[in-house]
Amino acid sequence: MTTRTTPLLSDLRAALGDAYVLTGEAMAPYRIDWMGDTRPEPLAVLRPADTAQVSDILQCASRHATPVVPISGNTGLTHGTDAGGALLLSLDRLNTIREIRPDARVAVVEAGVILAHLHEAADAHDLIFPLTFGARGSAMIGGALSTNAGGSNVVRYGSTRGLCLGIEAVLADGRVLDLMSAVHKDNSGYDLRDLLIGAEGTLGIITAAVLKLAPKPRAYVSAMAACPSIGAALKLLHRLQAETANSVEAFELMPGNYIDAHLTRHPDARAPFEERHDVNIFLELGALSARDATPDTTGAVPMATHLETVLADMLEAGDILDATVAQNAAQRSEMWARREAAAELTRLHSPVVDNDIAVPLDRMADLISGIETATSAVDPGIPFLHVAHLGDGNLHFSGWPSTDDPDTHAAIVRAVEDVAISLGGSFSAEHGVGLSKRPAMARHKNPVALDVMRSIKAALDPQGILNPGKVLPPKSE
C-alpha cells in the first residue's frame, strides 16, 4: 500500500519519526471504539513520545490549519474522538508514572497512564487513587480528565476534577501550559486547571497531571440491600453517612429489571436475594481507622458489625426488605461484578439508546417514573434498563426502541433529557458531551453560558483546530 505523503505529513514524520505517523490500514485499531463501531477515517494517527512532541504536532497543525483530535483509551460514549479528516493524536506513549509522593499523597503521571496501572502503583504505597469504573483496564488518565469522569466512588471522593491538583497541557499554538502544582490552596488568578478539565480537548491537550491519592481503607464492608422505595434507600444512605463519618464509598441502585438482565446474561450467577425486588442497592463502606477495621476476638470487623446492626434496625422498621453482607472477598467481588456488568447488559438487545443524566438525590424516583412515561409516549412499550450511582444522583438509562428509525431514537433521547432538566438536573453527568450530546447543549445550556464558552474557545484556539465540532454547538444549531 502506498504511504500517503503531503507537506503536512512530511513535517510530522520529521518531528516524530516515520514509525509514529500512522496512515492507511495501520490506523484501524484506533478507529474502532469499545463497542466495536468503526469511526470516521483520520488523516493520520500520531503517537508522540512526550510533551515536547505534542507541542511539535500542534505547532505543525497550526501552521497547516489542520484539526487535531486527542484520543486516550477510546472508552468514551459520546463520539468525542471522531476524527474524520483530522489528525488523531494518541497519548498512549505518554504512559509514565513520573513519581508517587506518599507524604504529599500525590501522583505525578502522564496522560497515557492506564487507570488500573495507577491503582497498582498507589497500592504499593498503601494508598489509592479513588477514581474507578468498569473500563479502568484500558481508560487513560488524559481521557478521564478531559471528560471529568465519575465512576462508582464519587459519593466519597468526588469526580476526576476533585482529584486533580495540577495539570500540564499543550495549547493550540504549541505553547506548553505548566500548571503542575501539588498545592491544595492556590488563589493566584483564574483557575485554568479546572477550565481545561472536562473540556474534551477543545481548549488544549492535557499531557500530564498531579493527582490526589487517598489512604487505603483498612477494610471494606460490602452489602446488598432491598428497599421498598428509592426514598427508603436514600434514608439508608444518609443514616450510614451519619453513623460512619461519611465512609460510604459506593451506593449503587440496580432495579429489578437490571437484576433480571444480569441473570439472563449470566445464568450461572446468583440472584442477590431469594425474592425479586424492584429497588436493589449495592453499598460499600471503607474503614480507615484501626478501631473500625480490626477484627474483634470473634473475628468480626467492627464496621461490618455496625452495618449489620443498622440493617437489622431498618429491616425491623420496614425501611429495608432484605439484606446480605459480604462475608469474604469472593462475595464482595460477586457484588461488584454484578454492578460492573452494566455496559454489557445494555447491549443485550439492539438497537439501543443511551443516556447519562443526573438530578438532585431527592428527585431520582421522579426521574425514573418520568422517563418511563416520557419514553413510552414516544415508543409505546419500549423496554428499558437503568442503573444509577444513587449516592450522587447519576442515572444511566438504556432503552431498546422498537424501530431503527433515527428520528425515533433522537426523540427518546430528548424525552429523557427533558425529564432530567425539568427536575433541576443535567443532560450530561459523567460521560461528557462530544458529538452525541451537542444537540442537548443547544437545547438546554444557558445561552449566556454558551456565549462565554465560545469566547473562551476563540481566545485559546482562534483557528478552531482543537477537536472541532465537539461540545459546543454552532450558533445556528
pLDDT digit string (tens) for 164-194? 999 999 999 999 999 999 999 999 999 999 9
Q: How many domains does the chain have?
A: 4
- The answer to the question of residue 251 being in a domain is yes
Q: Considering the chain, what is the average pLDDT of its residues?
A: 94
In CATH, what number is assigned to the domain containing residue 124? 3.30.465.10
- The answer to the question of residue 114 being in a domain is yes
Q: Are residues 210 and 247 in the same domain?
A: no
Q: Are residues 260 and 195 in the same domain?
A: no
In CATH, what number is assigned to the domain containing residue 251? 3.30.70.2190
Strand partners, 109: 97, 209
Using CA atoms, how far residue 159 sits from 120, 162, 211, 347, in Å, is 20, 6, 12, 26
pLDDT of residue 132: 92
pLDDT of residue 289: 95
What is 165-204 written as a DSSP string? Answer: EEEEEE-TTS-EEEE----S---SSS-HHHHHTTSTTSS-
Contacts of 449 (CB under 8 A, 6+ apart): none
Would you say residue 4 has pLDDT above 70? no
Provide the grid cell at 225. Answer: 440491600
Q: Are residues 121 and 158 in the same domain?
A: yes
Tell me the C-alpha distance between 66 and 11, whole Å.
13
Q: Are residues 369 and 427 in the same domain?
A: yes
Q: Are residues 32 and 64 in the same domain?
A: yes
Q: Are residues 313 and 423 in the same domain?
A: no
- The answer to the question of residue 447 being in a domain is no
Q: Which helix (H) or strand (E) holds 355?
A: strand 353-358
Band of the pLDDT at 2, cuts 50, 70, 90? very low
Least Cα distance to 81 among 354, 474, 473, 468 occurs for: 468
- The answer to the question of residue 467 being in a domain is no
DSSP code, position 219: E
Note the Cα 119 to chain centre separation in Å: 16
- The answer to the question of residue 170 being in a domain is yes
Q: Are residues 195 and 128 in the same domain?
A: yes
Alpha helices, H only, 104-161: 115-123, 141-147, 154-157
Judged by average pLDDT, the poorest of 33-47, 155-169, 333-347, 428-442 is: 33-47
Question: What is the pTM (predicted TM-score) of this model?
Answer: 0.94
- The answer to the question of residue 439 being in a domain is no
Q: Are residues 189 and 205 in the same domain?
A: yes
In CATH, what number is assigned to the domain containing residue 13? 3.30.43.10
Least Cα distance to 145 among 97, 101, 194 occurs for: 194
- The answer to the question of residue 475 being in a domain is no
Would you say residue 1 has pLDDT above 80? no
End-of-domain residue from the set 41, 62, 90 = 90
- Mean pLDDT calculated for residue range 359-376: 97
End-of-domain residue from the set 330, 363, 390 = 330
pLDDT of residue 197: 97
End-of-domain residue from the set 56, 73, 90 = 90
In CATH, what number is assigned to the domain containing residue 384? 3.30.70.2740
Q: Are residues 223 and 313 in the same domain?
A: yes
Q: Are residues 107 and 209 in the same domain?
A: yes
**First CA to last CA distance, the chain:** 41
Band of the pLDDT at 73, cuts 50, 70, 90? confident
Q: Are residues 153 and 202 in the same domain?
A: yes
- The answer to the question of residue 180 being in a domain is yes
What is the span of the domain harbouring residue 114? 97-215
